A and B are shown apart, each in its own frame.
Chain A
Amino acid sequence: MPRILILSILSLWGIHQAVAQELLPDSLMESHSLEEVEVIGSAATQALNALDHQMIHKETLLRIQGNTLIQSLEILPGISSIQTGTGISKPVIRGMSVNRVIVNEYGIKQENQQWGLDHGLEIDQYNVEQVEIIKGPVSLLYGSDGIGGVIQVHPPKPPQTDTSYGDIVLNYKSNNNLFGGSGKWVLSRDKWYLMARMSYQDYGLYQIPTDSFTYNGYRLPIYDGRLKNTGGNEWSNSIYLGYRTEKWSSNIYLSNVRQKTGFFPGAFGIPRLYQLQPAENPRAIELPFQYINHFKTISNTQVFTSLGVLKLDIGYQWNTRKEISKPHAHGNGVVPQGTTALLLNLYTFQSNLRWEYQSPQWRVQSGISLQYQNNQIGGFEFLIPAYRQLQSGLYVYSQYNTPGAGNFSAGIRYDIAHQSADEGTVIIYDSTGEEIRDQNRSPEWHKRYHNLSGALGWKKDIDHNWILSANLGTAFRVPMINELLANGVHHGSFRHEMGDTSLLPEKGWMADAGIDYHNHTWHASLTPFINYFSNYIYLHPSGRFSSLPEAGQIYQYKNTSALYWGAEFLIDYPVWRQFFLTHSLEYVYNENMETGNGLPFTPPMSVMTEISWKPYWNRNQDEGFQCAVTGHYFAPQNRVDINEPVTDGYFLFHASASWKKKINQDYMSFFIKINNLFDTYYLNNMSRYRILNIPEQGFNLQFLVRYEF
């Protein structure tokens, strides 16, 4: 701690020194203007430059064509996802998920009840131009939840003045008969520009390479090899209006994403034969299903001054989540809420103000962030109460570049949070629909938190071939309302989840390092990490039954000490002439130090090898052909939590090809991808349906066409 204080004092001194310097010449400042807008998102990268970060661009995303944005990002070592069917994926970075990973779109943190394992991400995959992944503790810049890392969706590059262009994308996936389409139109006049996108996709039941599954000793059929009621649709609209000058730029972004996703009915209670009969219309989404609407409006403003750049991001989000199913509480009557089991309406207001200053040797970033949330509840099931939460943080991050010893960074942050929740009650009805009584589920709650955290980083370039880096930081996370006050059966998880108001904030120490080698032909990197948490919050099986109807065991949130370590390895290497090899490996070990067991939903070790062919005759920016085969091995996951099944290893093959052609002034691109080439049967321990012994998606031929005009 004293070291952090000394460094923060040093960094404050650095700001003073930097400000005291003479004003930069105008010519230097001009380079900040339009070009700076194009690299708007990289401020964090520069501040956290010693952490491992990677950027993925649209073309790569189109080539990968995952079912969701997060699934596409899984090709990066260290990134995985927790899935429910084909439409819902939650990001996992180095084994950490839910409220330990931040997803940020256009500078504003996505707030969407991210604590739930079957709560996906409401971001239009077609609308992502570039996405950046930073692994490791980013809390210093992003606040409480950034323990594991951040997935940052950056705004598209602003168009050149007085242009108009757009694209149209059409997409088909054979496995679940997905049809998707998206269109974008961009217009710029003088200093104004407008970008609009509309996307829709609709998918049916997904196919799995089996005709039966075994649950509880019973063998149950899968009719036509398709998992019942797993279809869904997604409808997204967004508009982005920007204005830029030499001295300042500003934009406003409005987006709405609506998703409807069916759940396999066998996953709600004990699967029974009559639930598994094929539906008359397999594309119709029947009960149970999830309906989500995420509306947001974001404004980003930046002002270029002689003393640096001042940035203000303001966001308002309204997330509606409805989980629809028939009332399951036997012995109770019909509920007035009808089939709405869980209704959560979360309103979030955020504002982040930051100032960035750069001199040849110093780079300073300082900011203040504010977030206010209001959560309202409805539906016949109770899980979390209505609550309000205010979070605010103040930070300074500074970097000093020495000619010989490398680049040093240090940061310090002070956070405060205040939570206040209403008493949670459920009304019990009799068979005639009359109210019998109120049942109290969670107490009224008020709590304040505050915390001081810090981070240190070092990065050094040796001989223009080697880059070494190291980071050390403290982790801090405010307990979420569900961790404190949940008390109910989480839809689809059978188990009764219960909060604990005595939980302490999650705290720990996190360290990682990077060794990177690159020359003009190939590149390799190794990024080991180790994290220790003194108060890690996890859902612990209590060994006691719930008294709620049809509920199984009570799972209670609990503090424990936990250890995480692991590494990612990546090599990009031209094997022979026009053939390239990408080999990557990821490994996460974790241990609940009180029980010695693993923590739930830990990704298995995996090794991916891709060989791609990029012929000489067609390899430039504008046009190009390439194809690749990929082998992906996943080791068995035997380190599991109590009551979590072990999962065997598996090996998957994929193949892909893409071709881009210039037609007059326009471009036409074709992308073909085959996932699970050999229709391999495998169970994935990161899938919510794994508990039912249901395998993952089989063979999937995917086809995407993009026309840019």
Chain B
Amino acid sequence: MKKIFVSLLGISAFSFFLTACTKSEPDPSNQKPTIEILRTLPVAGTGIVCEETHDNVLIAHPGETLEIEMKLKDDHGLSQYKIEIHENADCHDHDHRPLSEWYYSNVVDLSGTESTKTEVISIPDDAEIAPYHIEIKLIDESGMESDELEYNLVLES
């Protein structure tokens, strides 16, 4: 019986030791990069897209220019950001054949730990009148990804 108690004590000590080992904190020196939007043209407001109310809606017209000014930050070193605009006419049901082929994608190289960039996007004259998504992603040199930022772009005639 005594033997058993000794072994149980041993196991518990071993468990405790291993638990203690795993309690190490994640490397605090490698944080996600961040995107802070300084300005958008047009200004983001509230609107209804796909029957849901959103507060990140940009309303624009074909032939106009979009501008997004961003402050990008990382604790170690920035690598790239990517902006994509794709159509959301069917509320992401993707069943239909897209009428307009406007799809925008741009990957921009970055350096340093802080950078302010303005993305200027010309909307083609023949872009389909529809809602779109604007997605902005940021990545640092080590491969840490930022939270994704999303806007709803609504093109009106």
Contact = CB atoms under 8 A, between A and B. Distances in A.
Nearest to A333: B97
Contacts of A550: 84, 86, 135
A32 to B, nearest CB: 40
Interface stretch (A93-101, A270-278, A472-480): A270-278
Chain B interface residue bracket vs A = 35 or more
Nearest to A607: B15
A4 B105 CA distance: 57
Contact of A270 (B87, B145, B150): B150
A646 interface: yes
B24 interface: yes
B137 A524 contact: no
B144 A642 contact: yes
Contact of B18 (A326, A334, A544, A585): A585
A579 to B, nearest CB: 14
Contacts of A547: 105, 107
A522 B3 CA distance: 12
A640 interface: yes
Interface in A241-292: 269-270, 272-275
A364 B130 CA distance: 73
Contacts of B82: 545, 552
A518 to B, nearest CB: 12
B125 interface: no
A541 B142 contact: yes
B142 to A, nearest CB: 5
Nearest to B108: A545
Given A553-B145, A636-B23, A642 B30 contact: yes
B19 A605 contact: yes
B18 A328 contact: no
A491 B12 CA distance: 43
B126 interface: no
B103 A549 contact: yes
Nearest to A269: B92
B20 to A, nearest CB: 10
A25 interface: no
State the main secondary structure of chain A at its contact with B: loop
A671 interface: no
Given A326-B93, A543-B142, A569 B11 contact: yes
B143 A541 contact: yes
Contacts of A269: 92
B22 A571 contact: no
Contacts of B98: 330-331, 333, 431
Interface in B4-49: 4, 7-8, 11, 14-15, 18-19, 21-27, 30
A438 interface: no
Interface in A271-327: 272-275, 326-327
Chain A interface residue bracket vs B = 35 or more
Contacts of A330: 86-87, 98, 103
A270 B147 contact: no
A585 B145 contact: no
A507 interface: no
B99 A571 contact: no
Contacts of A275: 92
B141 interface: yes
B11 A585 contact: yes
B2 interface: no
Given A327-B94, A569-B11, A431 B99 contact: yes
A638 B145 contact: no
Contacts of B51: 274
Contact of B143 (A543, A571, A585): A543
B38 to A, nearest CB: 18
A607 B14 CA distance: 11
Nearest to B14: A569
Most chain B CB neighbours (cut-off 10 Å) among A432, A545, A553: A545
A445 interface: no
A243 to B, nearest CB: 50
Given A545-B82, A638-B24, A216 B147 contact: yes
A509 interface: no
A239 B42 CA distance: 67
B46 to A, nearest CB: 15
Contacts of A522: 4
A642 B101 contact: no
A623 interface: no
Contact of B11 (A327, A583, A637): A583
Nearest to B90: A326
Nearest to B50: A274
A636 B19 CA distance: 9
B96 to A, nearest CB: 8
A431 B100 CA distance: 8
B16 to A, nearest CB: 10
Contacts of A334: 97
Contact of A571 (B11, B80, B91, B102): B11
Interface string B131-153: 00001010111111101101000
The 5 closest A-B pairs by CB, nearest first: A541-B143, A331-B103, A330-B86, A326-B94, A545-B82
Interface of B: 4, 7-8, 11, 14-15, 18-19, 21-27, 30, 50-52, 79-80, 82, 84, 86-87, 91-95, 97-99, 101-103, 105, 107, 135, 137, 139-145, 147-148, 150
27 contacts: A273-B52, A274-B92, A275-B92, A331-B103, A432-B97, A541-B144, A542-B143, A545-B80, A545-B139, A550-B86, A552-B137, A553-B145, A583-B11, A585-B11, A585-B15, A585-B18, A587-B18, A589-B21, A597-B27, A605-B18, A605-B21, A635-B18, A635-B19, A638-B24, A638-B26, A642-B30, A643-B145
Given A541-B145, A643-B144, 4 more contacts: A328-B94, A333-B98, A587-B18, A643-B143
